[in-house]
Amino acid sequence: MRKAAILAAGDSTRMMPLSANIPKHLLPVAGKPLIFHTLKALQDAGIKETLVVYGYRGEELRTAIDEQQWGEMSIHYTFQEKRMGTAHAAGYAREFAGDDDILLMYGDIMAESSSFKGLVDFHNKGMYSLTMAVFPVEDISAYGVVVVKDEKVTDISEKPKLGDVDSNLINAGIFGVTSELWDAIDKTELSSRGEYEITDSIMMLAENESVGAYTLPSWWVDVGKPWDLLEANKQILSTAKREIKGTVEEGTTLIGDVIVEEGAKIRSGAYIQGPVYIAKGCKIGPNCYIRPHTCLMGGVKVGNACEVKNSLVMEGSSIGHLSYVGDSIIGRQVNFGAGTTTANLRHDNKSISVTIKEKRVSSGRRKLGTIIGDFVKTGIGTLIYPGAILHTHAQTGIGVIVDRDIEEGKLVIVKQDKMELKSTSIK
């Protein structure tokens, strides 16, 4: 198997506000766009040709990919005009595949190159018409659950309740496919959601016991919602190796695998505990604390006496002095006024909920801070509740407590009353 196809045409609505000005697949993970990690993993797995099926803000995606060097792996593109389900999207790879077997995957999936290589080797044994990657999880309720017997897929149940299905294996969104899939797609009918579902196509093949299951041997992340970037960032940074190219002043402490790119400056008194990624143009400190699994993109500023923990801060953003950022995702060109604090834990220790497409959704995370869109500004002393979203161009005045989402372009201020004292005498 020498070919792969990445389905990356989705409109990224679940990633709002982070995807308002950039395609989801270019959002940063450990210093690089998400899709760059996938392309590199495919390259390492021996793939020689990759098709990217693009849609939303697709020209930006295409330009970014073409600006990179991919060695012996060539990149091809096709535009998906309409989004009518995963089977419909997969059909765009038919001409590219020809008579060859290909690796087909969703564009928001991240995994190690060894997982891709393992699936390719498994599929190349020629035992199945289609190979489905599966992955074990504790909470199956948000996924398509796969029932496997004797290495064969026998059933796929979409987002079942706990106990309804005797399996903890989920559809990992990576497949080894033969030309038989295209025939099955042609026969696939609209689902109850009004889409052509690739799982329906796969179940047609499974009826003939011709779908094999390959369990991924290492980590896997479905980057479908904003907080998934934190998990992806953690997995990639966990493999990072210490590399110091920027300027590090005397009196700075760097612990573990810290990456400081050329052009970054770390001022005296900064304490940085890896794994941490600090991109070119960053100015860190003095006297601040950067904790593990933090990624600071190009030109980020972290001021005096700040603490940043397990967070992603995108290009050009500034964290003003005396601020705390924990378990948060901060967009581009954001300005935090001095003393801005992101709360990241409920008193009852329950999972933090976030608004996704106008519905409250559990993040499944006990610790989650805020999600900030591009060009947001906070006034000094702003306090932000766990799970609150500040959409693009939102602003807060001095001392605001953000206990709910702030809509795009809205300003929230505190109104104060003056009261007449009964007595002003000093006793």
Query: Which helix (DSSP H) or strand (DSSP E) does residue 213 occupy?
Result: strand 211-215
Alpha-carbon separation of residue 408 from 18, 207, 403 (angstroms)? 12, 49, 16
Q: What is the DSSP letter of 230?
A: H
The residue among 224, 257, 291 that closes a domain is: 224
**Segment 172-179 mean pLDDT:** 96
Same domain, 248 and 366: yes
Neighbours of 399 (CB within 10 A): 15
pLDDT tens column, 356-413: 999 999 999 999 999 999 999 999 999 999 999 999 999 999 999 999 999 999 999 9
**Segment 107-121 mean pLDDT:** 95
Q: Which domain, by its residues, includes 403?
A: 235-412
Neighbours of 159 (CB within 10 A): 12
Same domain, 285 and 183: no
Q: What is the DSSP letter of 71?
A: T
Tell me the DSSP string of 6-47: EEE----GGGTTTTSSS-GGGSEETTEEHHHHHHHHHHHTT-
Same domain, 111 and 248: no
Same domain, 151 and 298: no
Q: pLDDT value at position 111?
A: 96
The alpha carbon of 321 is separated from its chain's Cα centroid by a whole number of angstroms, namely 28
Strand partners, 131: 176, 212
Residue 254 is part of a domain; what is its CATH number? 2.160.10.10
Same domain, 184 and 262: no
- The pTM score is 0.94
Tell me the DSSP string of 115-171: HHHHHHHHHTT---SEEEEEEE-S--TTSEEEEEETTEEEEEEESPPTTSSS--EEE
Query: How many folded domains does the chain comprise?
Result: 2
* 123 catalytically annotated: no
Question: Of the listed 25, 88, 321, 393, which one is catalytic?
Answer: 321
Burial class (CB in 10 A: 0-12, 13-18, 19+), 62: middle
Same domain, 216 and 257: no
Neighbours of 78 (CB within 10 A): 15
pLDDT tens column, 275-308: 999 999 999 999 999 999 999 999 999 999 999 9
